[in-house]
Amino acid sequence: MLFLARMDVSFPAHLTAEQVADFQVREKAYSAQLQESGKMQGIWRIVGEYANHSIYDVESNDELHEILSGFPMYAHMKIKVTPLAKHPNSIR
């Protein structure tokens, strides 16, 4: 099952620069693991925002939820998920 996820990150003002940097390091490692496993098919920055679009290929809604809730920044994210289906005009 393919899903498009938009993730918007908003850190609370009380976090220090060091805490934010720690989140970013852990987030990068988790994202790399998902990409290497094939669960995350791609990730794209949204220009001008602290946000991204990413594509997930998973077996179920529950698996996707488990993956998304595993992100170190999860508590500071607003996530919108869109299920995807093959378009009849796709040549792939």
Contact 78, 7 (CB under 8 A): yes
pLDDT (tens digit, 9 = 90+) per residue, 18-38?
999 999 999 999 999 999 999
pLDDT (tens digit, 9 = 90+) per residue, 68-87?
999 999 999 999 999 999 99
Architecture of the CATH domain 2-84? 2-Layer Sandwich (3.30)
pTM listed for this prediction: 0.91
For residue 61, CA distances in Å to 6, 8, 14, 23, 50 come to 16, 20, 33, 25, 25
Asked whether the predicted pLDDT for residue 41 surpasses 90, the reply is yes
27 residue type, one letter: E
Average pLDDT of the residues in 6-11: 97
Tell me what the pLDDT averaged over the chain comes to: 97
